Protein backbone atom coordinates (compact mmCIF):
# COMPACT_ATOMS: atom_id res chain seq x y z
CA UNK A 1 0.00 0.00 0.00
CA UNK A 2 3.04 2.30 0.12
CA UNK A 3 2.83 2.91 -3.59
CA UNK A 4 -0.52 4.68 -3.28
CA UNK A 5 0.01 8.36 -2.56
CA UNK A 6 -2.86 10.24 -1.02
CA UNK A 7 -2.79 14.01 -1.12
CA UNK A 8 -3.65 15.48 2.24
CA UNK A 9 -4.40 19.06 3.14
CA UNK A 10 -3.16 19.82 6.61
CA UNK A 11 -4.84 22.48 8.67
CA UNK A 12 -2.94 25.56 9.70
CA UNK A 13 -0.65 25.67 6.71
CA UNK A 14 -0.06 28.78 4.69
CA UNK A 15 -3.05 30.23 2.82
CA UNK A 16 -1.07 29.96 -0.42
CA UNK A 17 -1.89 26.25 -0.43
CA UNK A 18 -5.57 27.23 -0.45
CA UNK A 19 -4.96 29.53 -3.40
CA UNK A 20 -3.09 26.87 -5.37
CA UNK A 21 -5.86 24.38 -4.58
CA UNK A 22 -8.46 26.72 -6.01
CA UNK A 23 -6.33 27.35 -9.10
CA UNK A 24 -5.89 23.61 -9.60
CA UNK A 25 -9.63 23.03 -9.29
CA UNK A 26 -10.50 25.72 -11.83
CA UNK A 27 -7.72 24.47 -14.11
CA UNK A 28 -9.07 20.94 -13.99
CA UNK A 29 -12.54 22.27 -14.78
CA UNK A 30 -11.23 24.23 -17.77
CA UNK A 31 -9.33 21.16 -18.98
CA UNK A 32 -12.51 19.09 -18.96
CA UNK A 33 -14.44 21.97 -20.53
CA UNK A 34 -12.02 22.24 -23.45
CA UNK A 35 -11.60 18.48 -23.93
CA UNK A 36 -14.85 16.88 -22.77
CA UNK A 37 -14.83 13.17 -22.01
CA UNK A 38 -18.49 12.37 -22.42
CA UNK A 39 -19.64 8.93 -21.40
CA UNK A 40 -23.36 9.35 -21.95
CA UNK A 41 -24.96 7.89 -25.06
CA UNK A 42 -27.53 9.87 -27.04
CA UNK A 43 -29.84 6.91 -26.63
CA UNK A 44 -32.41 6.72 -29.40
CA UNK A 45 -29.73 7.64 -31.95
CA UNK A 46 -26.97 5.50 -30.52
CA UNK A 47 -27.54 2.33 -28.59
CA UNK A 48 -25.19 -0.10 -26.94
CA UNK A 49 -25.06 -3.66 -28.21
CA UNK A 50 -25.56 -5.90 -25.23
CA UNK A 51 -23.19 -8.66 -24.14
CA UNK A 52 -24.34 -12.29 -24.32
CA UNK A 53 -25.91 -13.40 -21.07
CA UNK A 54 -27.35 -9.95 -20.46
CA UNK A 55 -30.09 -10.11 -17.84
CA UNK A 56 -32.95 -8.40 -19.57
CA UNK A 57 -36.67 -9.09 -19.38
CA UNK A 58 -37.66 -12.70 -18.75
CA UNK A 59 -39.93 -14.90 -20.86
CA UNK A 60 -41.75 -18.11 -20.06
CA UNK A 61 -42.10 -21.27 -22.14
CA UNK A 62 -45.53 -22.30 -21.03
CA UNK A 63 -45.51 -25.81 -22.50
CA UNK A 64 -42.23 -26.62 -20.70
CA UNK A 65 -43.29 -25.27 -17.31
CA UNK A 66 -44.21 -27.88 -14.71
CA UNK A 67 -45.67 -25.44 -12.19
CA UNK A 68 -43.25 -26.33 -9.36
CA UNK A 69 -43.47 -22.77 -7.85
CA UNK A 70 -39.72 -22.66 -7.20
CA UNK A 71 -39.35 -19.41 -9.13
CA UNK A 72 -42.01 -17.68 -7.03
CA UNK A 73 -40.35 -19.01 -3.87
CA UNK A 74 -36.85 -17.79 -4.70
CA UNK A 75 -37.88 -14.38 -6.01
CA UNK A 76 -36.28 -11.82 -3.64
CA UNK A 77 -38.52 -8.98 -4.73
CA UNK A 78 -41.83 -10.89 -4.71
CA UNK A 79 -42.25 -10.13 -8.39
CA UNK A 80 -43.13 -13.70 -9.37
CA UNK A 81 -46.53 -14.99 -8.33
CA UNK A 82 -48.21 -18.24 -9.26
CA UNK A 83 -51.69 -18.31 -10.75
CA UNK A 84 -53.82 -21.34 -11.53
CA UNK A 85 -54.88 -21.61 -15.14
CA UNK A 86 -57.09 -24.61 -16.12
CA UNK A 87 -55.91 -26.61 -13.12
CA UNK A 88 -52.23 -25.95 -13.81
CA UNK A 89 -49.96 -23.45 -12.05
CA UNK A 90 -48.09 -20.84 -14.04
CA UNK A 91 -45.92 -17.89 -12.92
CA UNK A 92 -46.84 -14.25 -13.54
CA UNK A 93 -44.32 -11.47 -13.27
CA UNK A 94 -44.69 -7.89 -12.09
CA UNK A 95 -41.99 -5.74 -13.71
CA UNK A 96 -42.79 -2.99 -11.23
CA UNK A 97 -41.15 -5.17 -8.58
CA UNK A 98 -38.64 -7.17 -10.60
CA UNK A 99 -34.98 -6.42 -9.91
CA UNK A 100 -33.68 -8.48 -12.88
CA UNK A 101 -31.58 -10.76 -10.69
CA UNK A 102 -32.60 -13.80 -12.80
CA UNK A 103 -32.65 -16.12 -9.77
CA UNK A 104 -35.86 -17.60 -11.19
CA UNK A 105 -34.03 -18.47 -14.41
CA UNK A 106 -31.25 -20.12 -12.43
CA UNK A 107 -33.51 -22.17 -10.20
CA UNK A 108 -35.94 -23.43 -12.83
CA UNK A 109 -35.39 -27.22 -13.00
CA UNK A 110 -36.73 -27.57 -16.56
CA UNK A 111 -35.40 -24.31 -18.10
CA UNK A 112 -38.87 -22.95 -18.73
CA UNK A 113 -37.69 -19.37 -18.03
CA UNK A 114 -35.15 -17.54 -20.18
CA UNK A 115 -33.51 -14.12 -20.14
CA UNK A 116 -34.05 -12.02 -23.24
CA UNK A 117 -31.84 -9.11 -24.25
CA UNK A 118 -34.71 -6.64 -24.13
CA UNK A 119 -34.34 -3.99 -21.46
CA UNK A 120 -35.69 -0.78 -22.99
CA UNK A 121 -39.45 -0.90 -22.59
CA UNK A 122 -41.92 1.73 -21.48
CA UNK A 123 -45.39 1.28 -20.02
CA UNK A 124 -48.10 3.84 -19.62
CA UNK A 125 -49.66 2.45 -16.44
CA UNK A 126 -48.81 0.04 -13.66
CA UNK A 127 -51.34 -2.60 -14.67
CA UNK A 128 -49.41 -3.20 -17.89
CA UNK A 129 -46.34 -4.05 -15.84
CA UNK A 130 -47.95 -7.30 -14.65
CA UNK A 131 -47.53 -10.02 -17.28
CA UNK A 132 -50.08 -12.81 -17.08
CA UNK A 133 -49.00 -16.30 -18.34
CA UNK A 134 -50.34 -15.66 -21.88
CA UNK A 135 -48.37 -12.44 -22.27
CA UNK A 136 -45.42 -13.92 -20.40
CA UNK A 137 -45.34 -16.77 -22.89
CA UNK A 138 -44.51 -14.51 -25.86
CA UNK A 139 -41.34 -12.75 -26.89
CA UNK A 140 -41.69 -9.18 -25.70
CA UNK A 141 -40.06 -6.38 -27.60
CA UNK A 142 -40.66 -2.67 -28.05
CA UNK A 143 -38.58 -1.41 -30.96
CA UNK A 144 -37.79 2.32 -30.77
CA UNK A 145 -40.04 4.61 -32.81
CA UNK A 146 -37.08 6.01 -34.70
CA UNK A 147 -34.57 3.50 -36.02
CA UNK A 148 -31.26 3.30 -34.18
CA UNK A 149 -28.63 5.08 -36.22
CA UNK A 150 -25.53 3.63 -34.64
CA UNK A 151 -24.81 0.55 -32.60
CA UNK A 152 -21.84 0.92 -30.30
CA UNK A 153 -20.10 -1.22 -27.76
CA UNK A 154 -18.21 -0.13 -24.68
CA UNK A 155 -14.51 -0.85 -24.31
CA UNK A 156 -12.17 0.03 -21.46
CA UNK A 157 -9.75 2.76 -22.40
CA UNK A 158 -6.56 3.58 -20.49
CA UNK A 159 -6.99 7.37 -20.59
CA UNK A 160 -10.70 7.89 -20.70
CA UNK A 161 -12.14 5.06 -18.65
CA UNK A 162 -14.97 4.06 -20.93
CA UNK A 163 -14.91 4.53 -24.68
CA UNK A 164 -17.56 3.67 -27.24
CA UNK A 165 -16.53 2.15 -30.53
CA UNK A 166 -18.93 1.32 -33.38
CA UNK A 167 -20.10 -2.25 -33.33
CA UNK A 168 -19.23 -3.88 -36.62
CA UNK A 169 -21.44 -6.94 -36.38
CA UNK B 1 -36.96 60.83 -44.22
CA UNK B 2 -37.51 63.39 -41.51
CA UNK B 3 -39.55 60.95 -39.43
CA UNK B 4 -36.94 58.24 -39.89
CA UNK B 5 -34.25 60.63 -38.76
CA UNK B 6 -36.32 61.52 -35.69
CA UNK B 7 -36.83 57.85 -34.82
CA UNK B 8 -33.14 57.19 -35.22
CA UNK B 9 -32.37 60.21 -33.06
CA UNK B 10 -34.54 59.01 -30.20
CA UNK B 11 -33.50 55.34 -30.41
CA UNK B 12 -29.82 56.19 -30.36
CA UNK B 13 -30.26 58.80 -27.62
CA UNK B 14 -27.96 57.41 -24.87
CA UNK B 15 -30.61 57.74 -22.16
CA UNK B 16 -32.75 55.32 -24.19
CA UNK B 17 -30.04 53.26 -25.89
CA UNK B 18 -28.00 52.39 -22.80
CA UNK B 19 -30.78 51.30 -20.38
CA UNK B 20 -33.00 49.65 -23.01
CA UNK B 21 -30.87 48.27 -25.84
CA UNK B 22 -27.18 47.57 -25.39
CA UNK B 23 -26.22 46.86 -21.85
CA UNK B 24 -29.87 47.30 -20.90
CA UNK B 25 -33.10 45.31 -21.00
CA UNK B 26 -32.99 43.68 -24.43
CA UNK B 27 -29.34 42.65 -24.40
CA UNK B 28 -29.58 41.50 -20.78
CA UNK B 29 -32.60 39.34 -21.53
CA UNK B 30 -30.72 37.63 -24.37
CA UNK B 31 -27.62 37.32 -22.21
CA UNK B 32 -29.71 35.82 -19.41
CA UNK B 33 -30.93 32.97 -21.62
CA UNK B 34 -27.46 32.47 -23.09
CA UNK B 35 -25.88 32.44 -19.65
CA UNK B 36 -28.25 29.83 -18.27
CA UNK B 37 -27.76 27.73 -21.42
CA UNK B 38 -23.99 28.08 -21.08
CA UNK B 39 -24.16 27.19 -17.38
CA UNK B 40 -26.03 23.96 -18.09
CA UNK B 41 -23.90 23.10 -21.10
CA UNK B 42 -20.57 23.81 -19.36
CA UNK B 43 -21.53 21.85 -16.26
CA UNK B 44 -22.58 18.97 -18.52
CA UNK B 45 -19.29 19.00 -20.42
CA UNK B 46 -17.23 18.95 -17.25
CA UNK B 47 -19.40 16.23 -15.69
CA UNK B 48 -19.16 13.95 -18.78
CA UNK B 49 -22.75 14.58 -19.85
CA UNK B 50 -24.29 16.18 -22.92
CA UNK B 51 -26.65 18.77 -21.46
CA UNK B 52 -29.60 20.33 -23.28
CA UNK B 53 -29.59 18.89 -26.79
CA UNK B 54 -32.86 17.61 -28.21
CA UNK B 55 -34.79 20.89 -28.24
CA UNK B 56 -32.64 22.08 -31.15
CA UNK B 57 -29.85 19.80 -32.23
CA UNK B 58 -28.12 22.21 -34.59
CA UNK B 59 -27.96 25.00 -32.00
CA UNK B 60 -26.74 22.68 -29.27
CA UNK B 61 -30.02 22.80 -27.37
CA UNK B 62 -30.21 26.58 -27.14
CA UNK B 63 -33.96 26.62 -27.76
CA UNK B 64 -34.44 24.52 -24.62
CA UNK B 65 -34.06 27.75 -22.64
CA UNK B 66 -36.69 29.49 -24.76
CA UNK B 67 -39.00 26.53 -24.15
CA UNK B 68 -38.29 26.67 -20.41
CA UNK B 69 -38.95 30.41 -20.35
CA UNK B 70 -42.27 29.96 -22.21
CA UNK B 71 -43.27 27.17 -19.85
CA UNK B 72 -42.52 29.31 -16.81
CA UNK B 73 -44.35 32.32 -18.21
CA UNK B 74 -47.55 30.37 -18.84
CA UNK B 75 -47.58 28.27 -15.67
CA UNK B 76 -49.80 29.16 -12.74
CA UNK B 77 -48.68 31.57 -10.07
CA UNK B 78 -49.64 30.10 -6.71
CA UNK B 79 -50.14 32.56 -3.90
CA UNK B 80 -49.86 30.75 -0.55
CA UNK B 81 -52.35 31.25 2.28
CA UNK B 82 -51.54 33.82 4.90
CA UNK B 83 -49.33 36.12 2.87
CA UNK B 84 -49.96 39.65 1.75
CA UNK B 85 -50.66 39.14 -1.96
CA UNK B 86 -49.57 42.64 -2.92
CA UNK B 87 -46.18 42.30 -1.26
CA UNK B 88 -45.87 38.74 -2.54
CA UNK B 89 -46.29 39.83 -6.15
CA UNK B 90 -44.38 43.07 -5.78
CA UNK B 91 -41.12 41.90 -4.22
CA UNK B 92 -39.76 39.83 -7.17
CA UNK B 93 -40.40 42.84 -9.38
CA UNK B 94 -38.50 45.00 -6.91
CA UNK B 95 -35.63 42.51 -6.84
CA UNK B 96 -35.26 42.60 -10.61
CA UNK B 97 -35.76 46.37 -10.75
CA UNK B 98 -33.09 46.97 -8.14
CA UNK B 99 -30.61 44.77 -9.95
CA UNK B 100 -31.44 46.40 -13.31
CA UNK B 101 -31.24 50.02 -12.14
CA UNK B 102 -27.42 50.33 -12.06
CA UNK B 103 -27.34 49.60 -15.81
CA UNK B 104 -28.62 53.16 -16.29
CA UNK B 105 -25.53 54.72 -14.70
CA UNK B 106 -22.74 52.37 -15.81
CA UNK B 107 -20.73 54.01 -18.60
CA UNK B 108 -20.16 51.57 -21.45
CA UNK B 109 -18.30 53.76 -23.93
CA UNK B 110 -17.17 57.28 -24.73
CA UNK B 111 -18.51 59.51 -27.48
CA UNK B 112 -15.89 61.27 -29.61
CA UNK B 113 -16.77 64.79 -30.82
CA UNK B 114 -17.16 63.54 -34.40
CA UNK B 115 -17.11 60.36 -36.43
CA UNK B 116 -19.42 58.18 -34.33
CA UNK B 117 -23.16 57.57 -34.67
CA UNK B 118 -23.48 58.96 -31.16
CA UNK B 119 -21.52 62.15 -31.90
CA UNK B 120 -24.67 64.33 -32.08
CA UNK B 121 -25.14 63.74 -28.35
CA UNK B 122 -21.58 64.80 -27.54
CA UNK B 123 -22.52 67.98 -25.66
CA UNK B 124 -25.47 66.45 -23.81
CA UNK B 125 -23.29 63.79 -22.18
CA UNK B 126 -20.07 65.76 -21.89
CA UNK B 127 -17.71 64.58 -19.16
CA UNK B 128 -15.40 67.42 -18.06
CA UNK B 129 -13.01 64.93 -16.41
CA UNK B 130 -11.90 63.42 -19.71
CA UNK B 131 -13.17 65.93 -22.27
CA UNK B 132 -15.34 63.39 -24.08
CA UNK B 133 -18.97 62.44 -24.16
CA UNK B 134 -20.07 59.33 -22.27
CA UNK B 135 -22.45 56.64 -23.52
CA UNK B 136 -24.53 56.17 -20.39
CA UNK B 137 -28.18 56.42 -19.43
CA UNK B 138 -27.72 59.09 -16.80
CA UNK B 139 -24.44 60.91 -16.65
CA UNK B 140 -22.97 61.64 -13.25
CA UNK B 141 -19.38 62.18 -12.20
CA UNK B 142 -19.81 59.99 -9.12
CA UNK B 143 -21.08 56.88 -10.88
CA UNK B 144 -18.86 54.43 -8.93
CA UNK B 145 -20.59 55.31 -5.68
CA UNK B 146 -24.02 55.48 -7.26
CA UNK B 147 -23.75 52.01 -8.80
CA UNK B 148 -22.66 50.40 -5.56
CA UNK B 149 -25.29 52.30 -3.58
CA UNK B 150 -28.09 51.09 -5.86
CA UNK B 151 -26.76 47.55 -6.03
CA UNK B 152 -26.54 47.34 -2.24
CA UNK B 153 -30.33 47.71 -2.04
CA UNK B 154 -30.62 44.33 -3.81
CA UNK B 155 -29.93 42.07 -0.76
CA UNK B 156 -32.45 44.12 1.22
CA UNK B 157 -35.05 43.28 -1.43
CA UNK B 158 -34.13 39.59 -1.17
CA UNK B 159 -34.72 39.75 2.58
CA UNK B 160 -38.02 41.56 2.04
CA UNK B 161 -39.01 38.85 -0.43
CA UNK B 162 -38.21 36.09 2.06
CA UNK B 163 -40.09 37.86 4.83
CA UNK B 164 -43.17 38.49 2.70
CA UNK B 165 -43.48 34.82 1.67
CA UNK B 166 -43.83 33.67 5.30
CA UNK B 167 -41.96 30.40 4.77
CA UNK B 168 -39.45 28.84 7.11
CA UNK B 169 -36.94 27.95 4.37
CA UNK B 170 -37.22 31.48 3.05
CA UNK B 171 -36.53 32.93 6.51
CA UNK B 172 -33.43 30.76 6.95
CA UNK B 173 -32.27 31.79 3.47
CA UNK B 174 -32.84 35.43 4.35
CA UNK B 175 -30.74 35.12 7.50
CA UNK B 176 -27.92 33.59 5.46
CA UNK B 177 -28.27 36.32 2.82
CA UNK B 178 -28.07 39.01 5.49
CA UNK B 179 -24.85 37.50 6.88
CA UNK B 180 -23.33 37.28 3.42
CA UNK B 181 -24.49 40.66 2.17
CA UNK B 182 -22.66 42.45 4.97
CA UNK B 183 -19.46 40.57 4.24
CA UNK B 184 -19.45 41.14 0.48
CA UNK B 185 -20.66 44.74 0.54
CA UNK B 186 -17.65 45.59 2.70
CA UNK B 187 -15.31 43.94 0.18
CA UNK B 188 -16.95 45.65 -2.80
CA UNK B 189 -16.84 49.07 -1.18
CA UNK B 190 -13.26 48.71 0.02
CA UNK B 191 -11.90 47.58 -3.35
CA UNK B 192 -13.84 50.35 -5.09
CA UNK B 193 -12.52 52.94 -2.63
CA UNK B 194 -8.99 51.69 -3.16
CA UNK B 195 -9.39 52.23 -6.90
CA UNK B 196 -10.88 55.68 -6.24
CA UNK B 197 -7.88 56.57 -4.05
CA UNK B 198 -5.46 55.28 -6.64
CA UNK B 199 -6.96 57.12 -9.62
CA UNK B 200 -8.08 60.22 -7.66
CA UNK B 201 -11.59 60.00 -9.03
CA UNK B 202 -15.04 58.53 -8.50
CA UNK B 203 -15.68 58.50 -12.24
CA UNK B 204 -15.34 55.15 -14.03
CA UNK B 205 -14.79 56.95 -17.37
CA UNK B 206 -11.67 58.62 -16.04
CA UNK B 207 -10.31 55.28 -14.80
CA UNK B 208 -10.75 53.71 -18.22
CA UNK B 209 -9.49 56.73 -20.16
CA UNK B 210 -6.38 57.00 -17.96
CA UNK B 211 -4.89 54.23 -20.09
CA UNK B 212 -3.70 51.95 -17.30
CA UNK B 213 -5.88 48.89 -16.66
CA UNK B 214 -6.84 48.60 -13.03
CA UNK B 215 -5.84 44.95 -12.83
CA UNK B 216 -2.20 46.03 -13.30
CA UNK B 217 -2.50 49.08 -11.08
CA UNK B 218 -4.09 47.23 -8.18
CA UNK B 219 -4.34 43.44 -8.61
CA UNK B 220 -5.36 42.91 -4.98
CA UNK B 221 -8.45 45.06 -5.48
CA UNK B 222 -9.27 43.07 -8.63
CA UNK B 223 -9.12 39.75 -6.77
CA UNK B 224 -11.19 41.14 -3.91
CA UNK B 225 -13.78 42.61 -6.24
CA UNK B 226 -14.07 39.40 -8.25
CA UNK B 227 -14.64 37.24 -5.17
CA UNK B 228 -17.12 39.77 -3.80
CA UNK B 229 -18.88 39.68 -7.16
CA UNK B 230 -19.24 35.91 -6.97
CA UNK B 231 -20.55 36.07 -3.42
CA UNK B 232 -22.84 38.98 -4.24
CA UNK B 233 -24.50 37.33 -7.21
CA UNK B 234 -24.89 33.97 -5.40
CA UNK B 235 -22.79 31.94 -7.81
CA UNK B 236 -21.13 28.71 -6.76
CA UNK B 237 -19.34 28.12 -4.36
CA UNK B 238 -21.26 30.85 -2.50
CA UNK B 239 -24.72 29.66 -3.48
CA UNK B 240 -25.55 29.60 0.21
CA UNK B 241 -28.72 31.66 0.49
CA UNK B 242 -30.58 29.61 -2.12
CA UNK B 243 -28.94 26.27 -1.38
CA UNK B 244 -31.37 23.96 -3.12
CA UNK B 245 -30.28 20.80 -1.33
CA UNK B 246 -30.86 22.25 2.13
CA UNK B 247 -33.36 25.08 1.75
CA UNK B 248 -35.69 24.34 -1.12
CA UNK B 249 -34.77 27.50 -2.97
CA UNK B 250 -34.08 29.81 -0.04
CA UNK B 251 -35.90 33.14 -0.33
CA UNK B 252 -37.57 32.07 -3.60
CA UNK B 253 -39.13 28.90 -2.18
CA UNK B 254 -42.79 29.89 -2.50
CA UNK B 255 -42.58 31.40 -5.97
CA UNK B 256 -43.78 29.77 -9.14
CA UNK B 257 -44.37 30.74 -12.74
CA UNK B 258 -43.37 34.19 -13.91
CA UNK B 259 -42.54 35.43 -10.42
CA UNK B 260 -40.01 32.60 -10.05
CA UNK B 261 -38.35 33.65 -13.31
CA UNK B 262 -38.04 37.16 -11.90
CA UNK B 263 -36.48 35.95 -8.65
CA UNK B 264 -33.98 33.86 -10.62
CA UNK B 265 -33.20 36.67 -13.07
CA UNK B 266 -32.23 39.03 -10.24
CA UNK B 267 -28.99 37.30 -9.35
CA UNK B 268 -27.91 36.85 -12.97
CA UNK B 269 -28.57 40.52 -13.75
CA UNK B 270 -26.68 41.45 -10.59
CA UNK B 271 -23.78 39.34 -11.81
CA UNK B 272 -23.83 41.15 -15.17
CA UNK B 273 -23.89 44.55 -13.45
CA UNK B 274 -20.91 43.68 -11.27
CA UNK B 275 -19.13 42.26 -14.33
CA UNK B 276 -19.67 45.54 -16.21
CA UNK B 277 -18.25 47.50 -13.28
CA UNK B 278 -15.33 45.06 -13.09
CA UNK B 279 -14.68 45.48 -16.81
CA UNK B 280 -14.70 49.26 -16.53
CA UNK B 281 -12.67 49.39 -13.37
CA UNK B 282 -10.08 46.66 -13.95
CA UNK B 283 -10.15 45.36 -17.51
CA UNK B 284 -9.77 48.61 -19.46
CA UNK B 285 -13.43 48.71 -20.53
CA UNK B 286 -13.74 50.06 -24.06
CA UNK B 287 -10.30 51.67 -24.00
CA UNK B 288 -8.77 51.72 -27.47
CA UNK B 289 -12.20 52.05 -29.08
CA UNK B 290 -15.05 54.51 -28.67
CA UNK B 291 -18.63 54.93 -29.75
CA UNK B 292 -20.63 51.79 -30.63
CA UNK B 293 -17.65 49.37 -31.09
CA UNK B 294 -16.39 50.46 -27.67
CA UNK B 295 -19.74 49.65 -26.08
CA UNK B 296 -19.67 46.26 -27.80
CA UNK B 297 -16.15 45.58 -26.50
CA UNK B 298 -17.14 46.43 -22.92
CA UNK B 299 -20.23 44.26 -23.07
CA UNK B 300 -18.34 41.32 -24.58
CA UNK B 301 -15.70 41.46 -21.86
CA UNK B 302 -18.42 41.60 -19.20
CA UNK B 303 -20.25 38.67 -20.81
CA UNK B 304 -17.09 36.56 -20.74
CA UNK B 305 -16.74 37.38 -17.04
CA UNK B 306 -20.34 36.34 -16.43
CA UNK B 307 -19.72 33.11 -18.33
CA UNK B 308 -16.64 32.41 -16.24
CA UNK B 309 -18.49 32.99 -13.00
CA UNK B 310 -21.29 30.61 -13.98
CA UNK B 311 -18.68 28.11 -15.16
CA UNK B 312 -17.52 27.85 -11.53
CA UNK B 313 -20.69 25.86 -10.86
CA UNK B 314 -19.15 22.83 -12.53
CA UNK B 315 -15.98 23.00 -10.43
CA UNK B 316 -17.06 23.81 -6.91
CA UNK B 317 -19.33 22.38 -4.29
CA UNK B 318 -21.07 24.69 -1.90
CA UNK B 319 -19.37 26.23 1.11
CA UNK B 320 -21.05 26.12 4.47
CA UNK B 321 -22.15 29.51 5.77
CA UNK B 322 -19.40 29.60 8.40
CA UNK B 323 -16.75 28.62 5.85
CA UNK B 324 -17.83 31.39 3.50
CA UNK B 325 -17.89 33.95 6.32
CA UNK B 326 -14.50 32.79 7.59
CA UNK B 327 -13.09 33.03 4.08
CA UNK B 328 -14.42 36.49 3.46
CA UNK B 329 -13.56 37.99 6.87
CA UNK B 330 -10.32 36.15 7.62
CA UNK B 331 -8.65 35.97 4.21
CA UNK B 332 -10.32 38.39 1.81
CA UNK B 333 -10.93 41.25 4.24
CA UNK B 334 -7.18 41.66 5.05
CA UNK B 335 -6.61 41.50 1.30
CA UNK B 336 -9.08 44.35 0.86
CA UNK B 337 -7.25 46.40 3.53
CA UNK B 338 -3.95 45.65 1.78
CA UNK B 339 -5.44 46.73 -1.54
CA UNK B 340 -6.55 49.98 0.10
CA UNK B 341 -3.02 50.66 1.36
CA UNK B 342 -1.63 49.81 -2.06
CA UNK B 343 -4.10 52.23 -3.59
CA UNK B 344 -3.13 54.95 -1.11
CA UNK B 345 0.62 54.54 -1.69
CA UNK B 346 0.45 54.23 -5.47
CA UNK B 347 -2.07 57.04 -5.67
CA UNK B 348 0.18 59.28 -3.59
CA UNK B 349 3.24 58.57 -5.75
CA UNK B 350 1.40 58.66 -9.07
CA UNK B 351 -0.35 61.99 -9.40
CA UNK B 352 -2.14 62.29 -12.70
Which residues in B lie closer than 8 A to residue A33 (C-beta atoms)? 42, 45-46, 311, 314
* Residue A1 reports pLDDT greater than 60: no
Confidence of residue A157 (pLDDT cuts 50, 70, 90): confident
* Residue A168 reports pLDDT greater than 80: no
In a domain, residue A131? The reply is yes
| Residue A164, CA atoms < 13 Å, CB-side half-sphere | 16
Lowest model confidence (mean pLDDT) among A63-67, B185-189, B286-290: B286-290
Closest chain A residue to B57 measured between Cα atoms?
Answer: A42
Question: Given an 8 Å threshold on Cβ–Cβ distance, is B46 in contact with A40?
Answer: no
* CATH code: domain of residue A129: 3.30.70.3270
Q: Number of structural domains, chain A?
A: 1
Alpha helices in chain B (DSSP H): 2-12, 14-16, 25-46, 63-74, 85-100, 143-151, 154-165, 168-199, 204-209, 214-217, 219-232, 258-282, 291-311, 321-326, 333-349
Q: How many CB pairs under 8 A join A and B?
A: 36
Confidence of residue B304 (pLDDT cuts 50, 70, 90): very high
Mean predicted confidence (pLDDT) in A110-120? 85
In a domain, residue A104? The reply is yes
Closest chain A residue to B315 measured between Cα atoms?
Answer: A29
Kindly list the domain boundaries of chain B, sorted by start residue: 2-349
> Is this prediction's ipTM beyond 0.90?
no
Greater pLDDT, B115 or A93: A93
Mean predicted confidence (pLDDT) in B265-270? 87
Q: pTM of the full predicted structure?
A: 0.81
Average pLDDT of chain B is 85
pLDDT for the residue B337: 92
Question: Given an 8 Å threshold on Cβ–Cβ distance, is B48 in contact with A42?
Answer: no
pLDDT tens track for A11-63 = 656 767 778 888 888 898 888 888 887 788 877 777 777 778 888 888 888 88
pLDDT for the residue A10: 64
Interchain contact B331–A (C-beta under 8 A): yes
Confidence of residue B307 (pLDDT cuts 50, 70, 90): very high
Q: Which of residues 298-317 of B touch A (CB under 8 A)?
A: 311-312, 314-316
How far is B111 from chain A, CA to nearest CA, in Å? 37
Mean predicted confidence (pLDDT) in B275-289? 86
Question: Given an 8 Å threshold on Cβ–Cβ distance, is A40 in contact with B49?
Answer: yes
Which residues in B lie closer than 8 A to residue A26 (C-beta atoms)? 312, 315
Helical axes B291-311 vs B25-46, angle rounded to 10°:
40
Q: The domain containing residue A120 runs over which residues?
A: 58-136
Amino acid sequence: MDSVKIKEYKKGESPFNVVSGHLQAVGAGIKYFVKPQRITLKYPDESMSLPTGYRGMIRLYKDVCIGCTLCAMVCPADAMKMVTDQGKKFPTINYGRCVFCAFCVDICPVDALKETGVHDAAFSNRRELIFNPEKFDQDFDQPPLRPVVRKVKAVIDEDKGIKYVPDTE
Amino acid sequence: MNILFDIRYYILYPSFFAPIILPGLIFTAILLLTTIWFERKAAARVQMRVGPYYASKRLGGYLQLVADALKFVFSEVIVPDGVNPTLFALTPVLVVAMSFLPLAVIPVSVIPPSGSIFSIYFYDFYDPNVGLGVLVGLFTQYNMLLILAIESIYPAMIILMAWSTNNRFAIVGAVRESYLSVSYDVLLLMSTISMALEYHTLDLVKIVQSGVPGILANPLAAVTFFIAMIIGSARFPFDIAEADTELVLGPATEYSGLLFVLTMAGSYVGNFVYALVFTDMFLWGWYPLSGFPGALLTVIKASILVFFSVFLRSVYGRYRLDQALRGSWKYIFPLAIASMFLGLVVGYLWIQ
